[in-house]
Amino acid sequence: MFCFQCQEAARNVGCTIKGVCGKTPETSDLQDVLIQFCQEAAVRWKADRQGTREIAQEITRALFMTITNANFDNQALAKAIQQIAHRMDHPAQDWTLEQFLRMPHAGILEDADEDVRSLRQLAVIGLKGLSAYLHHAAMLGYEQENIYANFLSLLADTETLHEVPLLQRLVLDVGSLGVQGMALLDKANTETYGDPEVTKVRLGVGNRPGILVSGHDLRDLEELLEQTSDKGIDIYTHSEMLPAHYYPRLKRFTHLYGNYGSSWWEQERDFEQFNGPVLLTTNCLVPPKSSYKERVFTTGAAGFEGCRHIPDREGSKPKDFSPIIEMALRCPPPKPLEDGNLVGGFAHRTLESAAPQILQAVTSGAITKFVVMAGCDGRMKNRTYYTDFAKSLPGNTIILTAGCAKYRYNKLDLGSIGAFPRVLDAGQCNDSYSLALIAVKLKEALGLDDINKLPIVYNIAWYEQKAVIVLLALLALGVKNIRIGPTLPAFLSPNVSRILVETFGLGSIQDVEHDMAALIG
């Protein structure tokens, strides 16, 4: 195996024996084969451009399965390869798991030139992140033929292009498509569930049995809420599902009780203590401990051998969550972990309606800088940097956040500026789009000609491939001087890093003191 797609790649080079995430060499190889089939299917599609929607649906779901911490189930991966092979009328449609494992494949290292490899993988990794967002939008019935066509075309290019200048262009095109994909998902979420509202979310527990829902899929959560509304069960969110509480059409369910626990990497502690069943609708799944594994259910692109999987919808019929509900009814209520509340729901329309107050605070100097600290969290010790950075920010700064990165500072008491808490949570990682829109609106309101003249700085934490598409989308929007950390991606070659530094001013974090001086002054 060789995998270097996430921030926790071994030695910041790549995982070769077993994934730091727990991925086995077999799973990694199957994912390589699946990606290869997706690329070949995209190349074939490009020849006649037939069946765009169907093939894009299949490929986005398949690539979603290869994202970090999403799917560890070899049978499910083999089935996904068979389905793509079937579409291509390739003999592999009838192969067994063992045949796939024996299939020779070059994987990431097929490119001897490290810059070609770096740029191709940067594009593939960005498209994987975008796949997740397009899949979520599709689950809510939002699809755009032109986005799908561009997606397939760019994926085909990752297979056929080998020249550095063309690959540089490809990476930027992936970023631009990322903006469109995130806009589509924002539309899907807000038209389906209403615009996020400022909401206080409980952190404590009730005295009824509970189901804990993690991941990003709001439709799964909605169907589970509907199926449990009269069952004497409370539904809790975990990690990236927290922002579900901000949506009016989800918060109307009174048994959507609160948020339990913290970030994805703390799930061993959180799932253990929860007592009831846990539903992983997407990543981030950590290989479950035997003490709670039988309580873990997966659905959609998520999977883990030995955990029960809730099958996909058939047509317009909702998923059947009854096995989870039956288990919940036999379980004791969750153990309390903490008390208090979190406040969030500061997506673009909420902040747009508060624009006069924001502008007033900026012109009076009450707010001197907005610090975008969106992205992902991870388990590495050096991520305490983000807690320290948040604590060290002067009191006249506001943190704009989205994604699970927020758990590094969203429970600190950082106070408020006027009516605004100093940490404004827009939502899930895809809601970084909201933050970009806020920047565009602020630029217009302040009459500036360049987004980079705003009092906004970017200190982004990354972990997996969705953060990569967020980063590429920000670059495509013209945002410069973004700091990323805790380390630069292993898939950036020295030359590609240099190009990103020279063209976009992209930089890695150093230490709190240095970065505070550089970003805040």
Q: b/e map of 478-488 (b: 16 or more CB within 10 Å)?
A: ebeebbbbbeb
Among positions 3, 56, 373, 467, the unique one binding ligand FSO when judged by CB under 6 A: 467
Q: Are 396 and 417 in contact (CB under 8 A)?
A: yes
User: For the window 391-410, what string marks contact with ligand FSO as x by the rule CB under 6 A?
Assistant: ------------xx------
DSSP-based three-state secondary structure for 45 = helix
**21 is in the binding site of which of ligand SF4, ligand FSO, none (Cβ under 5 to 8 A by kind)?**
ligand SF4
At residue 364's C-alpha, the angle toward residues 420 and 447, to 5°, is 95
Q: Is 502 exposed, middle or buried (0-12, 13-18, 19+ CB in 10 A)?
A: exposed
Looking at the Cβ atoms of 117 and 422, the one nearer to ligand SF4 is 117
Cis ω for the linkage preceding 284 (within 30 of 0) = yes
The distance of closest approach from Cβ of residue 464 to ligand FSO in the complex, given in angstroms and rounded to an integer, is: 5
Does position 281 interact with ligand SF4 (CB under 6 A)? The reply is no
Report if residue 9 touches ligand FSO, rule: CB under 6 A.
Answer: no
Half-sphere exposure of 146 (CA within 13 A, CB side): 3
What is the rounded distance in angstroms from the CA atom of residue 333 to the CA atom of residue 210? 6
Interacting residue with ligand FSO among 31, 52, 60, 428 (CB under 6 A): 428
Q: Does residue number 15 form part of the binding site for ligand SF4 (CB under 6 A)?
A: yes
121 is a site residue for ligand SF4 (CB under 6 A): no
Secondary structure (3-state) at 492: coil
Q: How many residues appear in the chain?
A: 521
Residue located via tokens 């790649």: 9
- Residue 240 binding ligand FSO, by CB under 6 A: yes
Looking at 379-482, list the stretches that DSSP marks H as alpha helix, in order from N- to C-terminal side.
Answer: 384-392, 432-445, 465-476
CB under 5 to 8 A by kind: which of ligand SF4, ligand FSO, none does 19 bind? Answer: ligand SF4
Residue 5 sits in the site that holds ligand SF4 (CB under 6 A): yes
Q: 8 is in the binding site of which of ligand SF4, ligand FSO, none (Cβ under 5 to 8 A by kind)?
A: ligand SF4
Can you tell me whether residue 119 is helix, strand or coil? helix
**397 neighbors 370 (Cβ within 8 angstroms):** yes
Site for ligand FSO in 95-154 (CB under 6 A): none
Decide which of ligand SF4, ligand FSO, none touches 6; Cβ closer than 5 to 8 Å per partner kind. Answer: ligand SF4
- Out of 60, 118, 192, 283, the only residue in the binding site for ligand FSO (CB under 6 A) is 283
135 binds, among ligand SF4, ligand FSO, none (CB under 5 to 8 A by kind): none
* Minimum CB distance to ligand FSO smaller for 52 or for 239: 239
Residues found near ligand FSO in the complex (CB under 6 A): 216, 239-240, 264, 283-284, 376, 403-404, 428-429, 463-464, 466-467
